[in-house]
Structure 1
Amino acid sequence: MPRPSPGRTPRARLAALVLVLVLPLSAACSSSSDPEAAPERLSRGDDQVSLASHPVQTKTKIHRVYGRLGDAKRKAVRRQVGKAVDRWWEAAYLGGTYPRSSFPSAFPGFTKGAEKRARSDKALLTNETGGHRIDAVEAKHRAVTLDILATRRQARSVTAHFTLRFDTRGDKTGTTTVRGRLFLVRRQGAWRIFGYDVAKGAR
């Protein structure tokens, strides 16, 4: 199952935490943190984010399960992880009042380590850089596909492959696509994002 590779050299690890690809109208970033080492607390924004209402619903499906996991538990993982991804999307891209340039609670459900790294990647992981030029955001496509690792009939970790596409209106008018992977582990009864590999482009 795809997941962040352990044992990187300090130089390789540093490269994984910064911008790794820059092309016209596109960019990418990746990061991960050890879920076992992450303090088991909710992100500061978890109790502040409210879901906005958008006409396009997120389609979440399971691609593959490694190990044995019953149907009821598969459905629960699909629902819970889909909700975790939705909360980040709403906080970082789709929700809130525009125009704005502040996204203080953009990473609900991230572990402490992942949130710290994500704040350095706000240009990719949120609408912060162009938010002051946006009057409105409208979701056009929301899809999440899951690979689940299970042992002893329990889901232990998930890789969520996602695509989010939305239109913006205002001084910054166009279509933005965000795609990539989120790495999640279950902590304190909830699925937490401990790593990411994300690309963002606009046209």
Structure 2
Amino acid sequence: MVTDSGIGKVRGPLSPPRRAEVVRDVTAVVDAWSTRAYGGDYPRTDFADAFAAFTPDARALALRKTSLLSNAAAGADLEAVTIARRVVRVDVLAPRGKVAGATARIRIVLDLSGPTDRREVVTGRLLLSPTAKGWRVFGFDVSRGRDS
């Protein structure tokens, strides 16, 4: 599945090549999280690796909200999950041309098969900061519900 990704708002001077690099790197974090959290083989119950790119505090909070940030609550009962669509828009904060942070605005459409087939949508924001080890999620504001 190819993610529909692009640049959103940019605060500060940032060259087009640098913008593209930030979008690529942040999208890779979103892709890794969402694939591990929602995709994969089913039935299953282990989703802990989904939060590998989260900071320790964000990971601890995410592990308390696994029914929102992964399929952990229903994973044992699911037969299959398809990520039907993944959209990422990256807002960047770059004071004086130095990238200081990014917000990934996300929309992930999931087709879940199991006792009841359904389509769900995960929307919201992941807040990321650049570190020596790559981009890390330090916060999130995400909601999940059935697609109407």
Which residue, 98, 105, 122 being the options, matches 1:161? 105
Could you tell me which runs of 5 or more consecutive residues in structure 1 were left unpaired when the two chains were aligned: 1-55
Which residue, 50, 73, 80 being the options, matches 2:25? 80
Aligned mates of 2:123, 2:117 — CA distance in 1? 20
Which residue, 61, 70, 93 being the options, matches 2:6? 61
Asked if 1:190 corresponds to 2:134, the answer is: yes
**2:38, 2:83 within 8 Å by CA — same for their partners in 1?**
no
Q: Partner letter of residue 38 of structure 2?
A: Y
**1:133, 1:172 within 8 Å by CA — same for their partners in 2?**
no
| RMSD after superposition | 1.1
Question: TM-score by structure 1 length?
Answer: 0.70
Q: How does 1:167-186 map to 2 (within 5 A)?
A: 167-186=111-130
Aligned mates of 1:169, 1:123 — CA distance in 2? 16
Which residue, 73, 88, 100 being the options, matches 2:44? 100
Which residue, 121, 133, 144 being the options, matches 2:88? 144
**1:137, 1:166 within 8 Å by CA — same for their partners in 2?**
yes
Q: Whose helix proportion is higher, 1 or 2?
A: 2
**1:130, 1:172 within 8 Å by CA — same for their partners in 2?**
no
Per-residue Cα deviation, 1:14-49 (whole angstroms, up to 9, x for no partner): xxxxxxxxxxxxxxxxxxxxxxxxxxxxxxxxxxxx
Count of matched residue pairs? 147
Give the corresponding residue for 1:90.
35
Could you tell me which runs of 5 or more consecutive residues in structure 2 were left unpaired when the two chains were aligned: none
Per-residue Cα deviation, 1:137-171 (whole angstroms, up to 9, x for no partner): 11111000111000231211001110000101122
How much identity, in percent, do the aligned residues show? Answer: 36
Q: Partner letter of residue 21 of structure 2?
A: A
Runs of 4 or more consecutive aligned structure 1 residues displaced over 3 Å after TM superposition:
none
